[in-house]
Amino acid sequence: MAGVSKNARIGSGTHKFLCPCGGEIKMKSVFAKGRMKHHAECEKCKRTERRPSDFK
């Protein structure tokens, strides 16, 4: 569990992240160059980050 931010709260049920814009962040999987790549995307502003905790 190294690298887990203090801000990442786990234990409130489902994994849910919110973008600063108020939109809900969804995990997306993209198959590219023979590999699965995962990224997080805000539904509202379409901002993408590598992981949900990068939205700040």
Positions in the binding site for Zn ion (CB under 5 A): 19, 21, 23, 42, 44-45, 47
- How many residues are listed for the chain in this entry? 56
The count of other CB atoms within 10 Å of the CB of residue 41 is: 19
Q: How far is the CB of 25 from Zn ion (least distance, A)?
A: 8
Residue with Cβ nearer Zn ion (37 or 44): 44
- Look-up of token digits 């699965």: 36
| Shortest Cβ 31–Zn ion spacing (Å) | 24
Distance CA 18, CA 24 (A): 5
Closest approach, Cβ 13 to Zn ion, in A, equals: 22
